[in-house]
């Protein structure tokens, strides 16, 4: 856990964004946030976070596009970062193999409790 101190939360729903940020800050993580796709790229480039919680349904650029850019474009300084997708979709079988390869996990927002976030972070080396 020592390696994953700075976390970027990309989430357009204000309440959820604040809930996750508040909870994780309370657990001694450094949190930066973005509310849409463009801002996410800017923040990532500037802050180069260790872990990104990336929502899929976002204004301007969707999560899958962001995943591809962040993972493969060095200019955003995030190719090595862990990226966990945030979603409410239940069916991941239709998602392309590239997405599966690029991401480090996914979270169904409605199905977790906040403490699960800590477990998720812990499960990522």
Partner 1 sequence: MNIRRQLTLLMLLIGLLPTLIVSTLAYATIRNSLTRKTADQLVSTTIKQEQKINGLLQKRQEDAVELANRFDLQSALGRYQSTNGKDGGDALATVLLDKKINSPEIQSVTLTDLKGTVIASTQSNSKGKQVSAQNYAIPEGQEIATTVREDGNDGIDRLYLTTKVSVNKKESARMSMVFRIDDIVAAVQDYTGLGATGETVVAEKDAQGNALTLFPLRFNTDAALKAQVNSLRLFEGNGTDAVERTDYRGNRVLVSSQPVGFANWVIATKIDQKEALAQTDPLRNTLFFIVGISSIALVVVALLFARFFTRPILRIARAAQLIGRGDFSIQTDFKRNDEIGMLAASINQMGLSLHDFVSRIEGERNRLELILNSITESVIAVDKDGIILIANQAAAELTQLDGHAIVGKHIAEVFNWLQKGQPFEVNYNKSGVLSDLEFTPVTGSLHYVKLIVSRVNGDAADSVAQTILTIHDETKSRELENMKVDFVSMAAHELRTPLAAVRGNLELISFKSGQELPAETAKFLKRALKSTAELGGLINNLLDVTRIERGTLRLTMEKVDLATEITHAVQETHFSAEDKQVTLSYSAPVAPAFVMADRIAIREVINNLIVNAIKYTKPLGHIEVALRHSENTYEVSVKDTGVGIPKEAQQHLFTKFYRVHGGLSSGSTGTGLGLFIAKSILERHHGAITVVSAEGQGSTFTFTLPMLSEENRAALKATEAALPTRRKRGWITKNTDR
Q: How far apart are CA 40 and CA 101, in angstroms?
A: 21
Minimum distance, C-beta of residue 92 to partner 1, in the bound complex (Å): 7
Nearer to partner 1, 90 or 97 (CB): 90
The verdict on 28 binding partner 1 (CB under 8 A) reads: no
10 Å Cβ neighbour count for 111? 9
Site residues for partner 1, 5-24, by CB under 8 A, read 13, 15-16, 19-20, 22-23
User: With the C-alpha atoms ordered 42, 45, 49, 54, is the resulting torsion angle positive or negative?
Assistant: positive
- Cα of first residue to Cα of last residue in the chain, in angstroms, is 7
Q: For residues 73 and 65, is the Cβ–Cβ distance under 8 A?
A: no
Nearer to partner 1, 17 or 41 (CB): 17
The verdict on 25 binding partner 1 (CB under 8 A) reads: no
Minimum distance, C-beta of residue 6 to partner 1, in the bound complex (Å): 14
The verdict on 96 binding partner 1 (CB under 8 A) reads: no
- Tell how far CA 15 is from the center of its chain: 16
The residues that touch partner 1, with contacts defined as CB under 8 A, are 13, 15-16, 19-20, 22-23, 26, 79-82, 84, 88-93, 104-116, 119-120, 123-125
């Amino acid at each position: 856990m020592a390696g994953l101190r700075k976390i970027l939360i990309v989430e357009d729903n204000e309440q959820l964004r604040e809930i996750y940020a508040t909870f994780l800050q309370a657990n001694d993580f450094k949190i930066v946030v973005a509310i849409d796709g463009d801002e996410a790229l800017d923040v990532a480039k500037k802050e180069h976070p260790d872990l990104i919680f990336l929502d899929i349904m976002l204004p301007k650029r969707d999560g899958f596009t962001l995943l591809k850019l962040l993972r493969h474009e060095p200019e955003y300084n995030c190719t090595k970062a862990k990226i966990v997708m945030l979603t409410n979709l239940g069916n991941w079988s239709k998602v392309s193999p590239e997405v599966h390869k690029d991401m480090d996990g996914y979270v169904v927002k409605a199905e977790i409790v906040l403490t699960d976030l800590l477990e998720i972070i812990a499960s990522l080396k």
